[in-house]
């Protein structure tokens, strides 16, 4: 990913430190750069301070799975499903339900 894009996002967040979109953009940028610790910090900030930012939960849950924090991933997906229902975001709810079912071993298919 472009370090130029990262620099721009970091400049933007200096002026708008509480903007959830910028935090999300930084988290995904760091994730794309394989800087999981920095991505994790932004995603965790989002769920703590911007609980209704639905898009966070899928990516944070996947990151938790990748760093072997299964229980945190499960809880993140559960919370994300609650937030998605409240926001009436059926697409996000469906995605979260799918990854939750997979992590819980409920993604079986009929033979």
d(CA 25, CA 10): 10
State the pLDDT at residue 3: 76
pTM: 0.90
29 within 8 A of 37, measured Cβ to Cβ? no
In a domain, 110, yes or no: no
Stretch 38-43: mean pLDDT: 98
Q: Is residue 111 part of a domain?
A: no
The 10s digit of each residue's pLDDT in 56-86 is 999 999 999 999 999 999 999 999 999 999 9
Using CA atoms, how far apart are residues 99 and 92, in angstroms rounded to an integer? 11
Residue 41 exposed, middle or buried by CB count within 10 Å (0-12, 13-18, 19+): middle
Mean per-residue pLDDT, 42-55: 97
Q: Is the dihedral of CA 96, 30, 48, 52 positive or negative?
A: negative
Q: Which domain holds residue 96?
A: 3-103
CA pair distance 25, 51, nearest whole angstrom: 16
Total domains present in the chain: 1
CATH of the domain at 63: 1.25.40.10
Q: Is the pLDDT of residue 109 over 70?
A: no
């Amino acid at each position: 990913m472009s370090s130029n894009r990262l620099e721009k996002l970091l400049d933007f967040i200096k002026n708008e430190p509480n903007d959830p979109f910028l935090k999300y953009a930084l988290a995904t940028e760091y994730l794309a750069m394989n800087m999981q610790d920095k991505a994790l910090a932004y995603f965790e900030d989002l769920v703590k301070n911007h609980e209704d930012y639905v898009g966070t939960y899928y990516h944070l849950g996947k990151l938790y799975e990748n760093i072997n924090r299964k229980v945190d991933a499960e809880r993140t997906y559960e919370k994300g499903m609650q937030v998605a229902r409240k926001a009436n975001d059926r697409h996000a709810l469906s995605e979260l339900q799918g990854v939750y079912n997979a992590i819980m071993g409920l993604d079986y298919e009929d033979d």
